Every structure is written in structure tokens, then in C-alpha cells.
Structure 1
Amino acid sequence: MYALNFGPVLSNFEELMQGLWTTIYLSVSAMILGLLVSIVCAVGKTSGGRLVVAPINLYIELIRNTPFLVQIFIIYFSLPVIGFRMSPNTAALTALVVNVGAYGTVIIRAGIDSIQRGQIEAGHALGLSRGLRKVSMYTLASDGLSSEWENVHRDFHFTIVSACSSSWLIRFHELLWDQAARYRHLSSTCEFDPSSTITEHQMMVDALLKRDSIVSIDLSRRHIVECRLANDSKQPESAC
């Protein structure tokens, strides 16, 4: 058994909490502002003229074809030369918003293009508007954005990790994300006995609390396999 020493962690607990708050603030702010930029640019690419589409395309190509770390350096070190001075946190937030906005524009544009013609016609039938733009905005809010949100979320996390030059960290992030996505999308298509399910979960929790990694991994693997076998044994129409 390893002897864990939490002394250095506890002695710097205040600094760690401050860093945690900064991370949460930058992440949430960048996601919200970046999503707004993505929506505006995606709608501009869809319904705008050449004078609108050309600058958006230039912005997307510049951001997507340059490393995120370089973008941070340009914003933090180059902009002050021409008179735009900002704090480190503001520079980091600006770089994240610009990067997320470029990648999100492509994703949301794909979501807009995936809206079926029948949905637009249904919007006309409901009396939303005879103009394509207004109907598209309603269908985008209800369908396009919801279907593409996961891609925006994934690209945001990849942007943060890609700021590090470690190829191992990037590969590990992709592997961890794929495994988490598989487990998140694993749905039960049959009814289980609640008592047995609670018992299995309790056994996994107990193994984790005892730091017994071998038993914990074995129980988790067995639980997932049993769920998968139970799903395969049922017809799709019997899904609950």
C-alpha cells in the first residue's frame, strides 16, 4: 500500500482553490461567449452575402490552421505592442473565445445544414414566418444546436489539452473521452431488478472505497457486459 502524503496539498489549499475557481470561470465564460460567436458566424455563413461570408471564412481558416498556443502568445504579447493591453486571464479568455468560436462555427453550420426541408416546411405550416431565416432560427434552436452541442463540447476540451505539446496527453485525452462517451451512451433497453442493480452498484462503491482496483475493475467490466448482453437480448421496440 502506498502512503499518501497530503501535507503539500493542504498547505497550499487556498492557492489550489483559487486556481480551481479561475479554471471554472475561464471554462464557463469561454464556452458561453464562444458559443455566441459560433452562432453569429454560422448564421452569417448560411444567410449572409459575400461581404459577410468572406471575413468569416478568413477568420475560420486562420484560427483552425494555427496552434492554440501560438494564438495565446499573439494575443498576450503582440496586441500590447499596438496599444491593446490586457491581464493574463483576459488574454486567456479572449484566446479561448476566438478559438472556440472558429471551431464551433463549422460545427453549428453543419447542424444548420442538417436541418431537413420538412422541418422548415413545418415551420411555415405553423405560421412562424414565410421567410427562411426566421424559421431556420427556430429549428436551429430546437434541433441543430442540440444535436451539435456535444461536438462543440468535445472541441472545447481538445482545445485546452492541445495547448500542451505532449502528444501522450492528447492521445490519452482522446482515449478517455471515447470511453466516457461509450459509457454515457450505453442505454438500457430492458427492465432490471432494482434490488440487484443497487447491490451491484454498492459492491462497486465498496471496492472503490477499499482502494481495491482489481476487484473494482472486474465488477465494473462485469456490470457493463451484463448490461450489453441484456440489451442485445431485447428487441428495439421494447426499449424503456
Structure 2
Amino acid sequence: MPHTLTWHHDVSRQARVLSYAMRLMFKPTLRMWPLTDGGIKAIAHLDRAVDKMPRPKRVTIEQVALGGVPCEKTTHPRTATGSLDGATVLYFHGGGFVFCGLATHRVACATIAARSGVPVYSVEYRQIPHGGIGTSIADAMASYRAALDLVADPKKIVVAGDSAGGYLAMKVAEIAVLEGITPPAAVIGFSPLLNLDLKNHPRKFMNKDAYLPMKQVLALEDRWLNGPDAIPGSASPIDADPSAFPPVF
């Protein structure tokens, strides 16, 4: 069966306003931010600041660990029925493998749990300066393997993520096939990072990013790729065998 691609070019008014605000306030700040270990660690305070804000209502949030990796489990009183009965979402936050964490993506995970009626595990994988992308993948796979032994139905795990987290979701699906373990039922990527060959990206396309200055992203490339842990399989998910992936949104 051939793969079907659906392109979504329409953008809501809310998204346009948010994009403009990010370009106006956040992008200039990141353009000047030092990418030293100290500068990167300082960005991590963003997650700590958000952690002090009120937590989402009508959901239960528990601190757990999957394969030794810190996570948050978010559940809603409503339980899914039909094809989602017994399903689980394993969520990987975005942030360019540098910043963001459980707190910044808590509302997103709560929304997914509330609307789907399935438990959502948000994974706090290691990022720069504690390791490169290979280290992030190692934590993502450790959490996925542990989830296979824990969830109600290991054949109904949906891996999801935004930006760098979308990359990890795709890598988990690919590596599960390479290792011969139960693969995810589906992958959801919100603006996923799928190609690490940034120097060959069309500059006009790259400049559309709402908040990441391309000069800074390119400066991170060596740290992404030269961490202590190697990247298994294809460095970029777009170079992997498409047959390795389950249904992908």
C-alpha cells in the first residue's frame, strides 16, 4: 500500500499571533544567547520557572520513572473506549535538545490525556550539556522499553513529541523495528525535527522558524552529533526505511 501524504498549509489566527510574538520577543533573545555550558544551563531555568505555575486542573499528575528516566504520568477521569481502549501515549518534549522539560509541556500532555482518555507519560530525557542527541535517544528508548512491560496493552503505545521530541518519537519507532521489539502503534509529530543535515536545508525555508535563529541552531550541530552516545540507525529519520514506521501524523 503506498504511503499517503497530506499537507496542511492553513494556519489559525491564534497561531499567526503566537508566531509573530515569538519572532518579536523570543527569537532576538536566543540570537544573542551564549551557547556555552553555563548559558545552556541558564536556559534550563525556564522549566523551573514554569514549574511554579498552577498545574492543569481535572487531571492527575504523578512523578514516576520509566527505565530509570524521570517522567510524569498524566491521567484524566474519563477513560477511552473503542480503538483507544488500553492505549498509552509516551510524550517527548521539544526544545532543540537544549531546553524545556516536564513543566513546559505539562499543559500539552494534560490536553492530550483529557481529550483522548488515555494515560500520557511525559519523558524528561537528558539534553545538552549532559549529552548529545545519542544520549537523548538512549533515554527515550529506556523509557519505551520500560513502558512495554508496564502499560495495559504494549501494542497500543503511541509515541509523540514536538520539534526535537518529534525526532525522538520517530527514532523510537525506527529503533524498535531494528531491535525486534514491539513497535509503537503510531507516531504523532508536532513540527518534528526530521533532518539533521541543516547545512543543506533551503535557507528561505529555515528562516520561517518562529523562534529558533538558524545561526544558533547550526552552532549546536556539533554538540548534537558528538555526544558520548552514538545515534543508532539513521541520523535523520527522513533517511530511514519508510516501512519501519507505523502510521505517522
- State the TM-score, normalized to the length of structure 2: 0.24
Which structure has the larger Rg over C-alpha atoms?
Answer: 1
Q: Which structure has more helix as a fraction of its residues?
A: 1
Higher relative contact order (CA 8 A, sep 6+): 2
Q: Which structure has more strand as a fraction of its residues?
A: 2
